[in-house]
Structure 1
Amino acid sequence: MSTRESINEQAANWLIQLNEPGVEEQLRADFAHWKALDPRHAAAAERLQGFVGQMSALRPQKASVHAALDSAYASRNKTYSGKRGATALLLLIALLLPGWALWRSDMPRYWLADLHTAPAQWLSQTLPDQSHLTLNGNSAVDLHFDDQQRRIRLLRGEVLVEVAHDPARPFIVETEQGQMRALGTRFVVKRENGITLLTMLESRVAATASANPTSVEVGAGEQARISATQVQLLSAIDPGSVNDAWRYHQLVVQNQPLPEVLDELARQHPGHVQFDREALADLRVSAVLPLDNSQRALQLIADALPVRVRQFSPWLVIVSRKP
């Protein structure tokens, strides 16, 4: 277990004890002493206390952490013992994470989008101009069509675009980082970690960063990373492989760091996938994984690499390195 995980578990255990009825002042003093021993202790405690405070505001009936944990244990007919550091943290997250994720996310905008998909759900839609969009899981777009233009705003996730010919109205896909004006037919746009990734399958797109008016043409078989300030061409891609991955809802990776692969799978998981990026950073993945079955994908990774996948509730999966 990494030092960070151990500190988090200790912080969770302190928090549970401090929320029990009739807590003594000595325990509070011991907690203060523990926080003073290491700045990381105080930081972990502050994060977890803030997390619980946010959840208390969301829950219709406020209950102590101890009561919530007792309820979880009772439903599983288990005994609540003194050795509860790791289990306490996991149950606390499992109980409170759904509301926290909703509170922190852009979910309201996602629900109000013109088209959106749930994790692991794909959607194909023919537009009024006969263009075609395919959204992969956990994606959302807004549509704006008028007499002058056809505009798609990608709010989250990834979309495959097939553009119908209409010389009178340009077809534009935009994100916070920039916009892509179609000069041809078929391409993929993806939002990830503050950048936009453009993958060209057929013909060309003129890509422009939001803070830079210079346009860069990206042709079939090319990929570009778009930030707010520039459009950067990347290495060539195989359009056939990309088409197959979309057709079969697959994630195809070649020698990719495991944390990046887990990021992709987490986006298609209905709950939270927890992992330590530093502990897994040196592990690399080459595989074809099912994006519409994240549990199966995680098991394939566990079969191939020295990692362990544990599911503690429908909302929480933890991936850790084997000792």
Structure 2
Amino acid sequence: MSPLTQSPSRLPRESAAEIEAAAAVWAARVDRGPLAPEEQSALDAWAAADPRRAGAYARAMAANAYFDQAAALGPNLRADAAPAWTRRRTFAAAGGAVAASLFGVVGANLLWTRGRIATPKGDVRRISLPEGSAVTLNTDTAIRPDFSASERRVELLRGEALFDVAHDPSRPFRVVADGVSVEAIGTSFTVRRHEDGAVEVIVRQGLVDVRRVGAASGVRLPAATASRVDSDQPILAKALSPEAVDKAMAWREGRLDLTGKTLAAAAAEFARYSDYEIRFEDPALGRLEVSGVYSISDPEGFARAAALSLGLFAEPGAGGVLISASAAS
């Protein structure tokens, strides 16, 4: 019996990666043409068995719709080109109420505008790409994909993303961010654009080549290696422990590992996910170091815990919290 048609009650709880993979298979099958009645019934049953499946399927179908549009436009893809949604892709594919709910999930979590895929502030989402790769977009992140027969290219316009690249030696996978090119064949790595113009790369698996756009050579990064590329500095590799790699990517699970960061740096990280401000009565307080793992959705909880551990005080107010050396009178 196919994994897509087994009874959910006979299977252990699926991981998020397994659900995304199955959703990609269903989306690819629907993309080839109308489903047979028994296939449609199997899809409906699969999507209804777990609410996570509906969201994964919606993201896979939306990605397919986007890349169909990109392929149709080819090299003439315009910055203002929006993805083509068809009735077959959004409603007939999943049938009735299930399809309607999927369309709502897509609209709420990802934005497809002007040839871009983006997440709003505070949201983290994974999408499947039609050639088998996947990308996880961190908060307030935007990418512009451009796939052709000879190359898979993604421009990171802002933010941070994890790329899980399907192996395809005939089509290199290249991420371009602020003048930096990161190329892989089949691997897993993150790329982040910092506000100061630096580009940070962390390799989880495989090998990637990092170079400045137009340069003849660069630096090859193996697994558990990072590089922060500044405009006026040579590209250097820094070895990381497996634990450090996991900590750097904790945002995929809605967490921030802030061990060893200053209060000011921690506040800046939380500002990426929320408009709730963490302020300091004295800038010197921001230079104190903190430790611990915190939810990206709870900046006030972090401020209270950090203040308590440092003998400080956290006073919530309108739109934020003030950390001070003494309690408010």
Which range, TM-score by smaller chain?
0.5 to 0.7
Residue 167 (structure 1) aligns with:
169
Q: Equivalent residue for 1:262?
A: 267
1:249 is aligned to 254
Is the partner of 2:260 in helix, strand or coil?
strand
Stretch moving more, 240-249 or 199-208: 240-249
Q: Which residue of 2 is the match for residue 292 of structure 1?
A: 297
TM-score by length of 1: 0.59
1:224 corresponds, among 222, 227, 244, to 227
Task: Find the partner of 2:241 among 231, 237, 255.
Answer: 237
Per the TM alignment, residue 120 of structure 1 is displaced from its structure 2 partner at its CA by 2.3
AA of the residue aligned to 2:180: G
Give the CA deviation at 1:177.
3.9
SS across alignment from 1:285: coil
Per the TM alignment, residue 129 of structure 1 is displaced from its structure 2 partner at its CA by: 1.0
Cα deviation code 1:221-272 (max 9, x no counterpart): 1111112343122242326624872442211133222211111111111354
Task: After superposing the two structures, state which structure 1 stretch, 212-221 or 199-208, moved more.
Answer: 212-221
CA shift for structure 1 position 276: 6.6
Q: Identify which of 142, 150, 153 aligns with 2:155.
A: 153
Say whether 1:204 aligns with 2:187.
Answer: no
User: Secondary structure of 1:214's match?
Assistant: coil
- 1:172-187 correspondence runs (5 A): 172-187=174-189
Q: Counterparts of 1:211 and 1:257 in 2: how far apart (Å)?
A: 36
Greater relative contact order (CA < 8 Å, ≥ 6 in sequence):
1
- Map 1:1-323 onto structure 2 (within 5 A): 112=114, 114-192=116-194, 193-210=196-213, 212-229=215-232, 230-238=234-242, 241-242=246-247, 245-275=250-280, 278-313=283-318, 316-323=319-326
**1:72 corresponding residue in structure 2:** none
Instruction: Report the AA paired with residue 181 of structure 2.
Output: Q
Q: Which residue identity does 2:199 align to in structure 1?
A: T
Which has more strand, going by share of residues?
Answer: 1
Q: Is the 8 A contact 2:188 2:206 kept in 1?
A: yes
> Which secondary structure does the structure 2 equivalent of 1:286 belong to?
coil
Q: Which runs of 5+ in 2 are unaligned?
A: 1-110
Contact 1:279 1:321 in 2 (8 A): no
Given that residues 152 and 173 in structure 2 are in contact (C-alpha distance below 8 angstroms), is that contact kept between their aligned partners in structure 1? yes
- CA distance in 1: counterparts of 2:126 and 2:112, whole angstroms: 17
Higher Cα Rg: structure 1 or 2? Answer: 1
Distance 1:211 1:182 in 2: 17
> 1:127: how far off?
0.8
The one-letter code of the counterpart of 2:140 is: N
- Does the C-alpha gap of structure 1 residues 317 and 120 become closer, same or farther in structure 2, counting only changes over 3 Å? same
Provide closer, same or farther for how the CA distance between residues 183 and 130 of structure 1 changes in structure 2, counting only shifts above 3 A.
Answer: closer
Scaled by the length of structure 2, the TM-score of the pair is 0.58
CA contact (8 A) 1:257 1:282 kept: yes
- CA shift at 1:292, angstroms? 3.2
Aligned length: 213
Which 5+ residue runs of structure 1 have no aligned equivalent? 1-108
Output the aligned Cα RMSD. Answer: 2.7
